[in-house]
Amino acid sequence: MNITRENIDALNAVVKVDIAKEDYSDKVEKILSDYRKSANIPGFRKGHVPMTMVKKQYGKAVLVDEVNKLLQDALGKYLTEEKLDVLGNPLPKPQDDLDWDADAFSFEFELGLAPEFEVDLKSKKAITHYNIVADDKMLDNQVEHIRKQYGKIVSETEVSKDSEITGVFANEEKAINNSTTITLDKFKGKATEKKFIGAKVGDVITLKTKGLFKDDHDLMTFLKVSHDDAHGLDVEVTFTITEINSRELADLDQELFDKLFGKGIVTSVTELKEKIKEDSEKQFAQQGDQKLLNDVTEYLVDNTKFDLPAEFLQKWMQTAGETEMDAEQAKEEYEKSEKSMRYQLIEGKLIEKHNLQVSFDDLKDHAKEMIKVQMAQFGQTNSSDEELEGIAARILSNKDEVKRLSEQLMSTKLLNLYKSEANLKTKEITYDDFVKEFYS
């Protein structure tokens, strides 16, 4: 067997594999001999079928199968030994005139080669890492929310500004019929609020869905419409009031503090706010980190310049998926996924350069921490290490879970790399301002 490579350019190559008769003949003969021993052909005793008949019936199929196995094995070894960093998979060149009656065969494969490039994490302009904080306004709102949540429900005869209104949103055409409880601060604009103020149980209020809520996604919550329907929904709905309540705010006393955090952990309003601030900012840190990860990714893709073997990749995409694509569809798919491909190459370069690895111990420790957090949410805070080990083992026996956790851990390792190596500046921002700036 002989394998040669012709480099077309820095990103494309053709590998030629020449297979001679001596490369496959012994294996083919052995398989045909085994067939002969077990072949069931009318007119012949088992094991006494003439070899010529076995070859006539099975020879071509066995030859094709063995040559293809030999070809794939040889090609795989060659790519590994030559340390060729290929994109996609080798594409066999069409051979309409291949003669399987010949003794020797030649096959050619197109290769798309990964580009050579360097990754520079030190951007000229510093990338902002947002430190999201809970300000006094937010803390006061959270305390108010807690007092309402644990307060006493009081029935009212008519709607006031702070009422909790239970009723049914309905629209026959859109099959909307949802019972829900809502407060007036959810609505957008004073006009809707005015329709409710003074209303009584049994009253029916007609509303337009367009611009009804401050956030259109609330249509999904209160009207139970789909995400797609929520955007741009412009119909008339009725709201039939079935119940009106208000809440007497709960006292900020030790009984409430113990109910929220456990006996004696919080003993004053000041400590309550400190606890809320601490818990909130832990969650905000995750959002700030995700924003940083997204921003550094964007910077790297935009500023790490290299070419891709676009023509090869589009050709490969035509047959790589579950359903085949024509050239135009492959081109569209390539254009949609090019950015993702570029980042995968950049990420791979960073992982290799900085030796970022996810070990089994990393996965196990991560799984155990995740389990502890989940169990704590249900009040289980004293699980034994043996119990955690058992649950972690079950999780890590699932390949999909291992893949998901590995990706999470690698993302964390990359984030830590960016924090230590990238040109960053820290900016403190309140949660409300962060949401307005990036998600409104």
pLDDT per residue over 239-287, tens digit each? 999 999 998 999 999 999 999 988 999 999 999 999 999 999 999 999 9
User: Which pLDDT band holds residue 51 (cuts at 50, 70, 90)?
Assistant: confident
User: Which pLDDT band holds residue 35 (cuts at 50, 70, 90)?
Assistant: confident
pLDDT more than 70, % of the chain: 99
Say if residues 199 and 158 touch (Cβ distance below 8 Å).
yes
| Architecture (CATH level 2) of domain 281-439 | Orthogonal Bundle (1.10)
Sequence-distant (≥ 6) Cβ neighbours of residue 439 within 8 angstroms: none
Distances, alpha carbon 329 to alpha carbons 60, 125, 233, 310, 336, in Å? 37, 38, 32, 14, 11
Cα angle value 179/183/187 (rounded, 5°): 95
Calpha distance 372→388 (Å, rounded): 8
Beta bridge partners of 89: none
Say if residues 165 and 200 touch (Cβ distance below 8 Å).
no
User: Which pLDDT band holds residue 440 (cuts at 50, 70, 90)?
Assistant: low
**CA-CA-CA-CA dihedral for 391, 397, 402, 403, to nearest 10:** -150
When the candidates are 3.30.70.1050, 3.40.50.300, 3.20.20.80, 3.90.1150.10, the CATH number that belongs to 2-113 is 3.30.70.1050
- Stretch 191-218: mean pLDDT, rounded? 93
* Mean of all residue pLDDT scores within the chain: 92
Say if residues 252 and 144 touch (Cβ distance below 8 Å).
no
Q: 3-class DSSP state for residue 407? A: helix
pLDDT at 207 over 90: yes
333-379 pLDDT, tens digit each:
999 999 999 999 999 999 999 999 999 999 999 999 888 888 877 77
- Stretch 134-163: mean pLDDT, rounded? 94
Q: What local confidence, expressed as pLDDT, does residue 301 receive?
A: 95
For residues 325-350, one letter each, b for 16 or more C-beta atoms within 10 angstroms of the residue's C-beta and e for the rest, the string is beeeebbebbeeeeeebbeebbbebb
Q: What local confidence, expressed as pLDDT, does residue 262 receive?
A: 86
Task: Say yes or no: domain 152-248 is CATH 3.10.50.30.
Answer: yes
- Stretch 68-92: mean pLDDT, rounded? 94
**CA-CA-CA-CA dihedral for 323, 328, 333, 334, to nearest 10:** 120
Q: 3-class DSSP state for residue 373? A: helix
Residue 249 per-residue DSSP state:
P
- Tokens matching residue 233: 């929904």
Q: What local confidence, expressed as pLDDT, does residue 426 receive?
A: 96
- Stretch 385-395: mean pLDDT, rounded? 89
317-344 pLDDT, tens digit each:
998 888 899 999 999 999 999 999 999 9
For the whole model, what pTM was predicted? 0.75
Calpha distance 205→165 (Å, rounded): 12
Say if residues 3 and 78 touch (Cβ distance below 8 Å).
yes
Calpha distance 231→210 (Å, rounded): 9
Calpha distance 145→162 (Å, rounded): 12
- Stretch 156-172: mean pLDDT, rounded? 95
Say if residues 414 and 350 touch (Cβ distance below 8 Å).
yes
Lowest mean pLDDT among 34-48, 186-200, 394-408: 34-48
- Residue spans per domain, the chain: 2-113, 152-248, 281-439
- Stretch 167-184: mean pLDDT, rounded? 95
Calpha distance 191→211 (Å, rounded): 11
Calpha distance 351→356 (Å, rounded): 5
Please name the amino acid found at residue 428: E
Say if residues 170 and 240 touch (Cβ distance below 8 Å).
yes
